[in-house]
Structure 1
């Protein structure tokens, strides 16, 4: 009886196939923002190139939402993954998350000239851009056990994780607790979407977007020395600056992600039956192949910045633009080559005989 209920629950919460297009739209946008953000951070840390373009403000504006949305959307699709037999479920996560994590960790060590990093036990729990892959993998590992908790009590899972993030030290433990909270919040949304449909209205969407936009705008303003909060404001530090990872801001971040999801669904709805605009196709292509774009861009930008700095090219707009363009170009090329080369495909998923390459 319990098995039948679990199966019925999973099938009832799996998002319809047509929703994947709006999910890809958000994923593609988030990945593009990640690439742009690292195109600013990598030159700053490697070549001491000071940021100062409008792109910096844009990436800061969306900073609270880009990685949290990627985690939440993964959780939203978790019921579909859990519908697989346990052996197939775990094998899939080992092939698509654990394997590329190890492969690209080695590539990262080479790109950063640390070929002996594997000798250090803590070197395998990286804080580089691969933290996201590690966090996803561990969340998926825990999901079959945690999702046995009945729906009325399941809200305690993300809440407990967010509470743990307030005492977790900076590093892997913080990332795991804070961002996994959004992963399981996404699963909770999938589980209760029949109750949440009543809030799928334009006024609610606008309210959520306005509230989260004010929060994001305050983050940008305080970066320019225009702090409008004070030390007495909840969720701020001793200087009155907003601490965006503070627990009090989690509902605001959730509001921003939810408002964006409602907007993306409406945008996709207006495009159905019409020719897809180029920007939408562009973002959805990135979203469908998000793992390729995510894995490639960071070590590529590191190598590129080193080469440009060695050539005496340190102008911030030039280096930043080169990092973005190179990351996109190489990633698009890798996506195309995956369909033709087992070697290239093996960079992103463990080789398996007679398995079609994702398109």
Structure 2
């Protein structure tokens, strides 16, 4: 009986110790599981916030890239910063994965090695330090995001200033274009007036010269030009003025000087003298072709008129050779009509 009582007491006294040990072990396991769950929740929330911030930052950077075509260098720098931030984020994800792995490993070790509570406590302390480092890294990233946001705001302010300057420049350009249109209209009006004045003097010159030269049947009028036959002015194959030609040119110079004396100085007029030949070619040392002969005859007329007082800067001489006939065919009459000097009073 005594032995039975002793065994009963011994059995009764052992179970409370086991119960206490199991309770302590269960509380330790529950504590570890709570730390794991809290860590997972904290890490998930941190990653979610960081993803949201990165999404917003990417959206703002894309909008700024579309608006600032001229800010390529700054945009490139911001993209580099974003790449650095994304690299840091990737590193953070890697560290998170590593931390999760460490937590999984710790949980397994806690279940397998319940007797090593002190060692597990040291691991938990290391995990807490890792979480603190994680918080510090997140604060650094947030500071970088804040700097990028400030840079974005600054660039947007510069964009607004540029837009205002462009609007002001556009208004100034519109005003200048309006002024230029007004000036152009005034110049066109003045030009039209000068053209009308020149046409009046052309008409007077044409009428007076036609009256003076009316007695010469060889001189023809075609449109607004006087056609003088080369035989009236020059010998065959020559560019030297004859006596009869000089007398006709004296009449022309007198009428021209009388008319041009009335033309205002701001009317830019010229007397055009064109030399023409027939289609029969010439080939002499002095005149290798009809071009040289027609040009020399036009220059001879201009020089003679200049000697009579007609301003040299108001005359032009040109030679057309045989390429612009007024009569078709090779008959003597056609050849005679094509050998001519044409005179025209026109504007430059």
TM-score (norm 2): 0.19
Report which structure shows greater RCO (CA 8 Å, sep ≥6).
1
Max Rg structure = 2
